[in-house]
Amino acid sequence: MTEVKREVFGQMPEEEGGGVVEKFILKSESVKVEILSLGCIIAALETKGRDGEFADVVLGFDTLEGYTRKHPFFGAVVGRVANRIAKGRFTVDGKEYQLFLNNGPNSLHGGARGFDKVLWSPQLLPNGVCFFRLSPDGEEGYPGDLKVWVTYTLSGGELAIHYRAQTSKTTPINLTNHAYFNLAGQGSRDIYDHEISIQADYYLPVDDTKIPTGEVAAVQGTSFDLRQPVELGKHLQKFGLDGFDHNFCLQQVQARRLVARACHPPTGRAMEVHTTQPGIQFYTGNNLDGSLKGKGAVTYPKHSAFCLETQNWPDAVNKPHFPNTLLQPGEEYNHTTWLVFKTA
């Protein structure tokens, strides 16, 4: 049985449009997750270690103020288009669209005020919560009125995130959740003792602005071969890597499959990622720099968390040989990701 509760988390500042931010608490025997109506943010996720002790394994803030200031998308649903669009430009039906540039020369995670920075309308479910919003035609430069539903449901150790969308005009769409995980517990210094595996035979090489070059490269014989678990710290050292911020190409099937696994041997906490999406961005918190004070006043230094963002491939709207990212009127965008928490 999943217990579902709601409470007030805070009040949005007037300059952000005001409005009450609610927190939804979903609780099973093995997992407790807290989700905000601001940006559908996963603000806390507690899961058991092999000693039976709970720890909060996602980075974030204790108060609303932390989330209304600039932060690296902690726990949020990002959109309309997650990841990067080269030069913030794309063409649909012969018309060129220009987006806000918020990541060097590129547009990242929906632009200046993406889905992570707005209030969503919640509806309670027996085992979770469904958030809805209408992204109006022209919001952040994107075409079409886009209706979006994001549903979180908890069953035992499994948190499902279901994304649905419908549009009035052809528009690119790519939704993901940007939770930062540390299975040792948020506030732990680094993730070097985590073991990571990703079921991908190919990855996307990127240019110096993190835009895919267009090549779909084999992982075989490279530092991107994570098909067998690697201990992260040793792996980064062995290949002289600063970290990962890359899309791994998954099997192109619209069925649920296991695509990644993270494990923290000292505590026994493990997380599996299952999805219907064609890609997963593996990011090792390279841009965290200790400047943000998170929950319990801890700081978050470089490599103190990882993200496994299930999504379409970055800049797919400008790369015809990448999986289609355009949603047409009359069609429905429909994807699910399942995070399964276990002890190893």
Q: Which residues are catalytic?
A: 178, 309
Place of tokens 């999805």: 275
**6 is known to lie in a ligand binding site:** no
**289 is known to lie in a ligand binding site:** no
The burial class, CB within 10 Å (0-12 / 13-18 / 19+), for 251 is exposed
DSSP for residue 81: B
Q: Which of 61, 163, 72 is nearest to 114 (CA)?
A: 72
What gap in Å lies between CA 341 and CA 338, rounded to an integer? 10
What gap in Å lies between CA 190 and CA 193, rounded to an integer? 8
**235 is known to lie in a ligand binding site:** no
CB atoms inside a 10 Å sphere around CB 2: 17
What gap in Å lies between CA 41 and CA 37, rounded to an integer? 7
Task: Fill in the amino acid letter for 105.
Answer: P
**84 is known to lie in a ligand binding site:** yes
The gap from C-alpha 110 to its chain's centroid, in whole angstroms, comes to: 13
Phi, psi angles (nearest 5°) of residue 33: -125, 140
Q: Which of 197, 325, 338, 333 is nearest to 275 (CA)?
A: 338
**103 is known to lie in a ligand binding site:** no
**162 is known to lie in a ligand binding site:** no
Annotated binding site: 83-84, 178-180, 245
Residues in binding site for beta-D-galactose: 83-84, 178-180, 245
